[in-house]
Amino acid sequence: MIHRLDADACRALLEDAPVGMLHLDRHGKITWLNETLARIVHRPAAELVGKSATEVGDVLRRLFEAPEAIFLPDADDGPGHWLLRTRQVLPDDGGQMFYYVDAALLRELALEREALRERLAELEAVDEVTGLPNRRAMMKKLEPEVSRSRRYDNPLTVILMRVEDLDGLREQWGDDAADQVMLSIAQMLNDQMRWADIIGRWSHEEFLLILPETALEASDQLLAKIRDRLRAVNLDGSGEHTVEVTARFGSVQWRRGEDAALLLERVHEALERDTRAA
């Protein structure tokens, strides 16, 4: 069919092509651009023809410079245009053809992909049952707190709480009930702790509590409140059925010279001592 098109028809097709097109001669002068590109740059073709790539102004100079992904702002504070450029060197010293594809959709897809990647990273750091930070996230939160205490010599207390016989709860009441118990405990911990405190699910049956600016003795009152609330933990989400839960605690205060790993090692030892003493 293409052989049936005359010169005028071909010219009309090029002018209204879905991609912007521009020709530079061998001297680097613009000899032609189609109407599609003229609309994108908000400049009539006649105003640009005859000019070199360095004579079109700082903004339009981007049409010819690296990188291949180009952003052209609008003069009237509009959204502008994202373009992808390709270049073709013409034979017989015929200059160069430039092609500009509207990349707005690709840009939106890239932004959506980045947002999804960030969301996935957030989900990877959250325990799916309780909605609390998981072990990986808690390690990232503990390290700067240890660094802050090392720098300013501020007190820092860490508590590791282990729920006893969680598997027994699961066997007696079912998986949903066991998960509900952990969710209820997480909500209770959030209610009892300060805004600056950090709570996370450390393992299947453990919660880690990070208490900045808190000496070990000052955490005793918090532990008493937690033990009291554990006597009636919501079992099914309705608040009508409760179960008494037993938990063991390891509590330590940061010492000079300790990093996060040593601090966690000591809190695990303290938890094991409390478990053996039961």
Task: Examine the domain organization and report whether 100 and 11 are in the same domain.
Answer: yes
Span 224-240, average pLDDT: 83
Task: Examine the domain organization and report whether 103 and 131 are in the same domain.
Answer: no
- pTM, whole model, 2 decimals? 0.59
Task: Examine the domain organization and report whether 47 and 174 are in the same domain.
Answer: no
Going by pLDDT thresholds of 50, 70 and 90, the confidence category of residue 267 is very high
Task: Examine the domain organization and report whether 130 and 266 are in the same domain.
Answer: yes
Quote the DSSP letter at residue 90.
Answer: P
Task: Examine the domain organization and report whether 196 and 260 are in the same domain.
Answer: yes
Q: Where are the beta strands (DSSP E) in the chain?
A: 20-24, 30-33, 69-72, 81-89, 96-102, 156-163, 198-203, 206-212, 233-234, 242-243, 247-253
Task: Examine the domain organization and report whether 140 and 211 are in the same domain.
Answer: yes
pLDDT of 38 over the 80 cut? yes
pLDDT of 50 over the 50 cut? yes
Please state the domain count of the chain: 2
Task: Provide the mean pLDDT of the chain.
Answer: 88
Task: Examine the domain organization and report whether 42 and 140 are in the same domain.
Answer: no
pLDDT of 43 over the 80 cut? yes
Span 153-182, average pLDDT: 87
The pair of structure tokens assigned to 254 is 């940061």
Name the nearest CA neighbour of 211 among 184, 233, 192, 228.
192
pLDDT of 1 over the 60 cut? no
What per-residue confidence (pLDDT) applies to 238? Answer: 63
The last residue of a domain, from among 107, 133, 155: 107
Q: Is residue 182 part of a domain?
A: yes
112 classed as catalytic: no
**Measured between alpha carbons, how far is 194 from 206 in angstroms, rounded to an integer?**
20
What per-residue confidence (pLDDT) applies to 235? Answer: 78
Q: Is residue 96 part of a domain?
A: yes
Tokens 């955490």 appear where? Answer: 219
Question: What residues make up the domain containing 34?
Answer: 2-107
Task: Examine the domain organization and report whether 75 and 197 are in the same domain.
Answer: no
CATH of the domain at 163: 3.30.70.270
DSSP assignment of 29-86: BEEEE-HHHHHHHTS-HHHHTT-BTTSS-TTGGGGTSS-SEEEE--TTS---EEEEEE
Whole-number percent of the chain with pLDDT over 70: 94
Contact call for residues 181 and 163 (beta carbons, < 8 A) = yes
CATH of the domain at 7: 3.30.450.20
Going by pLDDT thresholds of 50, 70 and 90, the confidence category of residue 2 is low
Q: Is residue 113 part of a domain?
A: no
**Measured between alpha carbons, how far is 112 from 25 in angstroms, rounded to an integer?**
40
Which of 109-123, 215-229, 231-245 is modeled with the greatest confidence?
215-229
Span 138-154, average pLDDT: 93
Task: Examine the domain organization and report whether 134 and 170 are in the same domain.
Answer: yes
Task: Examine the domain organization and report whether 187 and 68 are in the same domain.
Answer: no
Q: Is residue 117 part of a domain?
A: no
pLDDT tens digits, one per residue of 182-196:
999 999 999 998 889
Q: Which entry of 205, 213, 217, 265 is annotated as an active-site residue?
A: 205
Task: Examine the domain organization and report whether 177 and 96 are in the same domain.
Answer: no
pLDDT of 178 over the 90 cut? no
Task: Examine the domain organization and report whether 12 and 143 are in the same domain.
Answer: no
Q: Where are the beta strands (DSSP E) in 154-236?
A: 156-163, 198-203, 206-212, 233-234
pLDDT tens digits, one per residue of 101-133:
888 767 777 778 777 777 766 667 889 899 999
Among 8-22, 116-130, 177-191, 262-276, the minimum mean pLDDT is found in: 116-130
